[in-house]
A and B are shown apart, each in its own frame.
Chain A
Amino acid sequence: DAGVTQSPTHLIKTRGQQVTLRCSPKSGHDTVSWYQQALGQGPQFIFQYYEEEERQRGNFPDRFSGHQFPNYSSELNVNALLLGDSALYLCASSFQVPGANVLTFGAGSRLTVL
Chain B
Amino acid sequence: GNSVTQMEGPVTLSEEAFLTINCTYTATGYPSLFWYVQYPGEGLQLLLKATKADDKGSNKGFEATYRKETTSFHLEKGSVQVSDSAVYFCALSDVGSEKLVFGKGTKLTVNP
* Min distance, Cβ A110 to any Cβ of chain B, angstroms: 10
Give the complex CA separation of A100 and B51 in angstroms.
Answer: 10
Residue contact A43 to B98, C-beta cutoff 8 Å: no
Which residues 1-55 of A sit at the B interface, judged by CB distance below 8 A?
3-4, 31, 33, 35, 40-45, 48
Q: Known contacts A99-B96, A101-B93; is A45 also within 8 Å of B101 by CB?
A: yes
Residue contact B96 to A107, C-beta cutoff 8 Å: no
Most A-side CB within 10 Å, residue of B41, B45, B89, B102: B102
A107 CB contacts on chain B under 8 angstroms: 41-43
Q: Which residue of A lies closest to B46 (CB)?
A: A102
Residues of A within 8 A of B (CB): 3-4, 31, 33, 35, 40-45, 48, 56, 58, 90, 92, 94, 98-108
Q: Which 7 A-B pairs have the closest CB atoms?
A: A42-B102, A105-B43, A105-B44, A107-B43, A106-B43, A45-B99, A42-B104
